[in-house]
Amino acid sequence: MRARLTLALTFALALGAPASAAPRDEALRVAPTDFALVVVVQNLRDHGTAVSESPFASWFPTSALGKQFLASAAFKKITDASTPIFATLGITPTELLQDIVGDTLVFAYTPAPPGDAKAERSVILVRPRKVELLVTVMDRLNDAQTKSKELKALIPHKHAGETYFERQKPQGPSDFYCFRDGVFAFSSSEAEIKAVIDRDKSLPKDKTPVLVARMTKLGVTDAAAVLLVNPRSLDTEVAAKVKNAKPDERAFQTKFAEVWAATDSVAIYFTLDTGVELGVSVQFNTEKLPAHLKTWLAGERTPSALWSVIPDDAMLAVAGRVKLNDLIDLLGLLPNAEGKPGVRETIEQALGPIIGRDKLPLVLGAIGPDFGMWIMPPAPGTKNTVPVLVGGVKIEANGPKGAEVSKALLQSLEYGFQVGRVAYNVKHKDQIELREEKDGDVIIKSLSCEAFPAGFRPCFALKGGYLLVSTSPDAIKSFRAPTGEPKPGGDVPLARFNATAARGYLASHSSALAKWLASAGAGDAQTLAEQLGGLGDVLEQFDKVELLSRGDATGAKLMLRIKTAKPLKK
């Protein structure tokens, strides 16, 4: 009874304190800044309300996947298991979301160093909207666990003139918690709770918390959830890995340690709007970055020119911008096994005899920077089953030896096609032929065979300054080279998956595709058709998924942006 009275008085004082900062800032002001990982979840109440009232929430129960999920045993098990828990605590799920964790939830954690399991550190911070409700919930939890013998006693303690509580257990270590100006702190470590009290008493309330400043620099202050990684707290572990690395791993670990030492902060984040975005944001101390890595890890990005010509209804598209020689140089920085040739030496050994050792440097220097690959549904009105794949790479062959480079590339591709043709013809009665057709001044060479699926004719050509490889000559004929140079900056696309187009393809071709896959030995046609139908039900939830990047002078972001079939917010 005395403990409850003390607790009530503590909350009364907490409620009387003026709130001068946003809920997130109030929680992060007393959060540890030297922990390895800090998870920040904010505005759950607003996000939850927006999603529950969204067009997606209204539509999802009517979708095939929604019906299956809501009627599943797993969903019933979740609801059945949670019901007695909420009954014991005397609150509803809505109250938990709206009034307790709806503003800010923080979890800070540092793993134990090797050989010292007891040195693990963690603390949970909650800034509830209704502090009195959390008081009641804690009372009920303590009572319930006391009755069930899970809790031995609730003992109040003092530190720096402030009260905190120990939850003693019959077996195992105690838990500790306190309230500081409306922020609830919970930990299995008494020292961490005392540290929360110390930070509250010593840190000014009108100054931006360190962790908030870190989130701002990383560009994730408005994210619904953020995992902040503090590289400095893990330096010891990284150094230990370098020291203990095997001889064939040490060079790589050393290079990784160089980049790690130059990494100021990292965030993995989740944002919620009409769609969803998952991303990684990294900030570097560029003065510490190895010079040869600065352009790869920081600075503005430039999109591939091919994005301007990739069709919007491509089911999958990947495109980027890099010179092949630059990529080879980057890969050459990676350590190779002792006695083994490096990346460039391996390429020279493999392609030198085919392209010509004298021409290979010219060819490698001409490839890039723009490259891409995309997959299209079969053309409407045809009996074709398999999708159309197109791959292209820019060839800079305008110099005095440009014709020589182009000829070497085309001869090399034809050699590869001929090797594949001969290898197939030796083992099969039906024979592959290498055919040639013209598209204006462009010569398209393709493989043709009666055993191929309808519409499948592997081919290649050099057109508009791009070396193209496709499964359909018609795709090469319809290709139009991009014009103009792309501008750097902004969100740069790397990959795009069109779920709507993919689902449309499956709806039209799943039966024929299942039969073709079964003939290729992938399984039973009926089972495959059911699996493709299930995949279509999953794809129904989405419209588009994009992978993008963004860079600035000191860092970079990698973003996975998901557009759902219906908006997640009005």
Domains identified in the chain, total number: 3
For residue 3, pLDDT over 60 is answered with no
Residue scoring higher pLDDT (71 or 3): 71
Are 543 and 406 within one domain? no
Let me know whether 449 and 522 are in one domain: no
Angstrom distances, CA of residue 458 to CA of 417, 442, 566: 9, 16, 38
**Region 410-415: what's the mean pLDDT?**
95
Residue 130 has pLDDT above 60, yes or no: yes
Residue 353 located in a structural domain: yes
pLDDT at 112 over 60: yes
**Omega of the bond leading into 400 within 30 degrees of 0 (cis):** no
Mean pLDDT of all residues in 63-83: 86
120: in domain: no
Domain boundary pick from 458, 483, 508: 483
Predicted confidence (pLDDT) per residue in 54-71, tens digit: 999 999 999 999 998 888
Residue 519 and residue 427 share a domain = no
pLDDT, average across residues 503-514: 90
Whether residue 2 has pLDDT greater than 50: no
Give the per-residue pLDDT at 41.
96
Reported as a pLDDT band with limits 50, 70 and 90, residue 521 is: confident
Residues 421 and 452 in one domain: yes
Q: How, if at all, do strands 37-42 and 104-110 pair?
A: antiparallel
pLDDT at 21: 61
Contacts of 436 (CB under 8 A, 6+ apart): 443, 444, 445, 446
Asked whether residue 121 is domain-assigned, the answer is: no
Average pLDDT value for residue range 153-163: 95
Per-residue pLDDT, averaged over 151-173, amounts to 94
Its pTM stands at 0.89
So what's the pLDDT on residue 4? 41
Instruction: Determine the pLDDT at residue 246.
Output: 84
**Residue where one domain finishes, among candidates 483, 507, 533:** 483
pLDDT beyond 60 at 16: no
Query: At residue 261, does pLDDT exceed 90?
Result: yes
341 and 478 share one domain: yes
For tokens 């998901």, the residue is: 562
Identify the residue with better confidence: 334 or 319: 319
Tell me the pLDDT tens digit for each residue of 441-470.
Answer: 999 999 999 989 888 999 999 999 999 999
Distance CA 201, CA 507 (A): 63
Given a cut of 70, whether residue 336 has pLDDT beyond it is no
Average pLDDT over residues 6-12: 37
How many CA atoms lie less than 13 Å away from 280 in the CB half-sphere?
A: 6
Same domain, 475 and 403: yes
Structural domain containing residue 57: 45-63+71-102
DSSP alpha helix (H) spans, 73-224: 73-89, 93-95, 131-147, 190-202, 210-218
Within a domain: 124: no
Give the pLDDT confidence score for residue 492 in this predicted structure: 97
DSSP 372: E
User: How many angstroms separate the CA atoms of 166 and 153, rounded?
Assistant: 8
**Given the structure tokens 């590339």, which residue do they identify?**
409
**Is residue 241 domain-resident?**
no
Give pLDDT, residue 467.
Answer: 97
Q: Give CA separation, 351 vs 25, 345, 356, 372, 489, in Å.
A: 58, 10, 8, 22, 36
The three-point CA angle 43-46-49 to 5° equals 140
Q: Are residues 359 and 471 in the same domain?
A: yes
Q: What 3-state DSSP class applies to 188?
A: coil
pLDDT at 397: 80
* 112 assigned to some structural domain: no
Q: Is the predicted pLDDT of residue 17 greater than 60, yes or no?
A: no
116 is a domain residue:
no
Confidence of residue 12 (pLDDT cuts 50, 70, 90): very low
Pair of tokens at residue 119: 């040195």
> Residues 329, 422: one domain?
yes
Asked whether residue 461 falls in the same domain as residue 540, the answer is no
Looking at the structure, tell me whether residues 454 and 531 fall in a common domain: no
- For the segment 162-185, the average pLDDT, to the nearest whole number, is 93
Q: Does residue 510 sit in the same domain as residue 468?
A: no
Mean pLDDT within 423-434: 94
In a domain, 336, yes or no: yes
Res 15 pLDDT > 60? no
pLDDT of residue 5: 35
The rounded mean pLDDT for the chain is 90
Candidates 445, 318, 331; CA nearest to 392 is 318
Give the pLDDT score at 69.
Answer: 87
Q: What is the average per-residue pLDDT within 67-90?
A: 84
pLDDT range class, residue 11, cuts 50, 70, 90: very low
Q: Which helix (H) or strand (E) holds 330?
A: helix 324-332
Same domain, residue pair 467 and 339: yes
